Structure 1
Amino acid sequence: MQDTKLKPTVAGPKVRVLLVEDEVIFARAVAKRLQQAGYDCEHAETLADGRELARQFNPDLALLDMRLPDGNGLDLLPEFVTRGVSVISMTAHGEVADAVHAMKLGATDYLKKPVDLEELLLTIEKAQAATKLKHHLDYSRQRNTHATEGVELLGDSPAMSSARAQIERFAQLVAFSDAIPPTVLIQGETGTGKDVAARLLHLSCANSDRPFVHVDCASLPAELIESELFGHEKGAFTSAQGSRFGLIEAAEDGTLFLDEIGELPLALQAKLLNVLERRMVRRLGATKEHPVLARFVAATNRDLHQMVLEGRFRSDLFYRLNVLTMNMPPLRERGDDVLLLARHFAAQTERRYGLEPRPFSVDAARMIRHYGWPGNVRELKHQISRAVLLSRESQIMPQDLALPGMSISPVEMIREPDSGVTLDTAEKMLIENALRQSGNNVSEAARQLGITRMAMRYRMERHGIKP
């Protein structure tokens, strides 16, 4: 084994390259050029030396000759691929079959001998970019898999039962057909759980192990959204230093969720329509198109039909998206679901921070039930988490909720009493509530009820109330 390891003399990425090549003169030329480019290189002349050096050197990339003194490079290639090493195979003229076989075994690329050193550097750069993108997509897939674990639509109201039934029906339409999955449009106010419905739709399909890519059209900068969605080739614009998949391609044969699609600029609406119609995507600066296998789910809190009438949304895209539609109901229309969700979010926060479980007081529960929740489930989750973290009582009280512009007056507290309530019972409830809201300050409670402190004391004694 000949050691031609050269320390880089110029700044550059410290990518470790293992060269397995029996032509020593060629190997030295490659090692010298890699050093000039800033790579770290080791050289082995045989399969056995290459296998041993790989264990010691732990390369990022291998340049592997197919014809070696002790065998074929194809014998070593699977070991490199299993270790996560990118492989570029090098074949002599007339050995194209070996190159094809190498690609099937997992090689990233191949070169024909005699190898041009500048072409070699470009091929290495492409291989590194492809490896980086693969790692990124693998991470994204794992992250989205974790993000979809335990996803569910909570609630027993008729509206939520209908939403779950729609999701199951849409999933069945995909399962029983080999055709292109129809698009789904989810409508609803902000915070109603449109993203949860989209994830459930993905999980209900046969390809639930494939990527779920969430694109927030409202948060992407206008100057970047086209590149993010469609991808770009190197040099497509000033800052495009390399080629990059777009999010449409990154979704592979999984689900692409276009959240707040009503915010998509008109120019990009036309490009998206083209993708939906032809199921092909072209990166910025590219001439080649790539097939699109993903299913599309879109969501909006806007009235897209009204936007079409106003010229702010393309009618053809609206009709293309409006194939299967579902509406997520606002929280104010879901009845007692709000209390079920509040208890769920409280328990979540308590588990996350290791807190003792505490119930909502009767007054707090009624306040939660009566509040309009303009921010829907998202607002409820944040307010309940805040109340759980800040409350110091044995119960979560109305003041812990700190709902804007919301307070339950003593009169409101007895609007929904059990049947058979008496005047004495109602008076006792009013006094107890006034004391709670005043922090057991008798004078303040009396002021709230519009009576004197002496009258307050008299009524407290009559009802057996002790602050």
Structure 2
Amino acid sequence: MRLANFVSDEKSTSIKQQFKILIVEDEVLFARAVMRRLQKANYECAHVENVEDARNIVKQFSPDIVLLDMRLPDGNGIDLIPFFVGKSATVTVMTAHGEISDAVNAMKLGAIDYLKKPIDLEELFLSVKKAEATALQNNSLDYSRQRNVHAIEGAEMLGESHAIQSIKAQITRISQIVANDSIPPTVLINGETGTGKDVAARLIHLSCHGNDKPFLHVDCASLPAELIESELFGHEKGAFTGATDNRPGLIEAAEDGTLFLDEIGELPLALQAKLLNVLERRMVRRIGSTKERPVLARFIAATNRDLHEMSLQGGFRQDLYYRLNVMSLVMPPLRERLGDLVLLAEHFASQTSRRYGLPKPVFTPEALDKVRKYSWPGNVRELKHLISRAVLLCGELGRVTEGDLALPGAQLSSSSLLGETEKALMLRALSNAKNNVSKAARELGISRMAMRYRMEKHNIQID
């Protein structure tokens, strides 16, 4: 059990109390990075690694906000939600990829937000800001509006190019229209993979009325085909084999917040008609139910596919395409905002160094020249992964060279970049631990077995 009091040099702009945040997370390295990030905002933090310690710590530490991992060594984090909600704490859950059902249950039990791992610290910080605003409202304090303003500023897209400034202006305009409409219009965000469509969706949510409400990010491509209807629309007990209880779908769980349907082009045709009905009538009916429930959520969809062409070829319903395309954004690829490359590279480098406690990185002129000349087919996502890898490789030197970037003639995929980043991080941990596998595993916040598995995966051998 770890308890840390933080003192910040930054002035609090709108808070008159020091919020207490409890981090329930068994990945120690990640938890430490979260605590360091929260230090800058004058939060008092505690960290525990399991369910038992989480229950015991409230005797000496009454949290206002809880960041709760869903998979803990001695139980499921979801069982702790009623416990903390009953003690007037605001809960944000952190869930691994594919645990959509857990997220729905968490929202039903009282969590206000969920984040899908791997989690970016800035995204998590925005969630903390939202939780803070909710806690302030619950305590009848008149500061929620100011906190929301600062959360919006923190979510602003990086970039000074004309292309990204145009996107910012369009988001502002969309937010103004949404705020003045009792039935929020749908928004369709187009763009290549890795251009930041999810960032645009969250920024729209934060810029609109109700930004303290849930924001549910649903990846339509990753939902299992046999479960997608139940996950979206919910079901009643006995509706099908395995339906042992009543369960709301993600559309209901979004309440009067935002439902972000990522990769909407992957939604099966059979469900496209059902979604269209929800959008048209603003009502949803669970599987096996005769009762309809009103839908208050704002809908934002995103795709990297040409839905218009798909609709002409019969791969996507034309009526749904027109219904989604009421308001639209086209996220620019990185090759159309070359003036932002250095700014983004330096931002991601600083972000990585802060996360892992490394010196502030400096790029050599040759490295920056290489960044400018590379085509970046994976866009901002590829840039982020590659820069993170380079910073980890340069380590304590803090000097990112052309060799650290290792930009090949053949272009790397995002998945290979992630693999190389993981390998570089493991090599660094082993070096710090003098090749002690158990110690390196503890530094990374994983088990020794998981460490051995990843070493074999990356062909890492030690003496």
Please classify the TM superposition score into its range, dividing by the shorter chain length: 0.5 to 0.7
Whether the 8 Å CA contact 2:391–2:398 is kept in 1: the answer is: no
Other-structure match for 1:17: none
1:290 partner SS: strand
Give the SS at the match of 1:326. strand
Q: 8 Å contact 2:193–2:378 — kept in the other structure?
A: yes
Distance 2:106 2:171 in 1: 35
Q: Alpha-carbon deviation of 1:176?
A: 2.3
Which range moves more in the overlay, 141-150 or 289-298?
A: 141-150
Q: Deviations over 1:185-208 (max 9, x none)?
A: 000000000000000000000110
Residue matched to 2:229: 226
Q: Any unmatched runs of 5+ in structure 1?
A: 1-80, 86-129, 408-467
**Contact 1:174/1:205 (8 A) holds in 2:** yes
Letter in 1 for 2:108: K
Which secondary structure does the structure 2 equivalent of 1:336 belong to?
helix
Match of 2:338 among 335, 339, 350: 335
**In the alignment, what sits opposite 2:308?**
305
Q: Which residue of 2 aligns with 1:244?
A: 247
In the alignment, does 2:109 pair up with 1:135? yes
SS in 1 for 2:247: coil
Q: Give CA deviations for 1:1-45 in whole Å, capped at 9, x if unaligned.
A: xxxxxxxxxxxxxxxxxxxxxxxxxxxxxxxxxxxxxxxxxxxxx
- Does residue 401 (structure 1) correspond to residue 383 (structure 2)? The answer is no
Going from structure 1 to structure 2, the CA distance change for 1:134 and 1:153 (only over 3 Å counts) comes to: same
- 1:261-272 matches, within 5 Å, as 261-272=264-275
Q: Report the equivalent of 2:165.
A: 161
Matched, 1:373 2:376: yes
What does residue 146 of structure 1 align with? 128
Q: Deviations over 1:111-170 (max 9, x none)?
A: xxxxxxxxxxxxxxxxxxx99763254454997833975322110000000000000000
How many equivalent pairs are there? 283
Q: Distance in 2 between matches of 1:376 and 1:147?
A: 28
Amino acid at match of 1:154: L
Q: CA RMSD for the aligned pairs? A: 2.6
Q: Is the 8 A contact 1:145 1:209 kept in 2?
A: no
Note the alpha carbon deviations across 1:333-373, whole angstroms, 9 max, x for none: 10220110000000000111111112111010011111111
Amino acid at match of 1:361: T
Amino acid paired to 2:172: E
Question: Which residue is equivalent to 2:325?
Answer: 322
CA distance in 2, matches of 1:266, 1:283: 18
In 1, Cα distance between equivalents of 2:398 and 2:185: 51
1:174 matched residue in structure 2: 178
For 2:337, give the aligned amino acid: R
Q: What TM-score does the superposition give when structure 1 sets the normalisation length?
A: 0.57
Distance 2:276 2:162 in 1: 35
SS at match of 2:244: coil
Q: Deviations along 1:85-120, whole A, 9 cap, x unmatched? A: 9xxxxxxxxxxxxxxxxxxxxxxxxxxxxxxxxxxx
In structure 1, the partner of 2:69 is: none
1:282 equivalenced with 2:256 (yes/no): no
Partner residue of 1:420?
none
Matched, 1:207 2:189: no
**Contact 2:112–2:214 under 8 Å retained in 1:** no
Within 2, Cα distance between the matches of 1:195 and 1:309? 26
* TM value normalised by structure 2: 0.58
CA contact (8 A) 1:227 1:246 kept: yes
TM-fit CA distance, 1:403: 2.0
- Give the Cα separation in 2 of the matches to 1:246 and 1:211: 14
Deviation at 1:236, TM superposition (A): 1.1
| Kept in 1: contact 2:113–2:216 (CA 8 A) | no
189, 194, 200: which one aligns with 1:197: 200
- Aligned-residue offset at 1:221: 0.8
2:133 aligned residue: none
Give the AA of the match of 2:214: P
The answer (yes or no) to whether the contact 2:113–2:214 under 8 Å persists in 1 is no
Please give the alpha-carbon distance, in whole angstroms, between the structure 1 residues aligned to 2:314 and 2:339. 40
Higher relative contact order (CA 8 A, sep 6+): 2
Q: CA 1:151–1:83 in structure 2 vs 1: closer, same or farther (change >3 Å)?
A: closer
Residue-by-residue CA offset, 1:233-269 (whole Å, 9 max, x unaligned): 1111111110101000001001110001000000000
Query: What residue is the counterpart of 1:359 in the other structure?
Result: 362
**What amino acid sits opposite 1:257 in the alignment?**
F
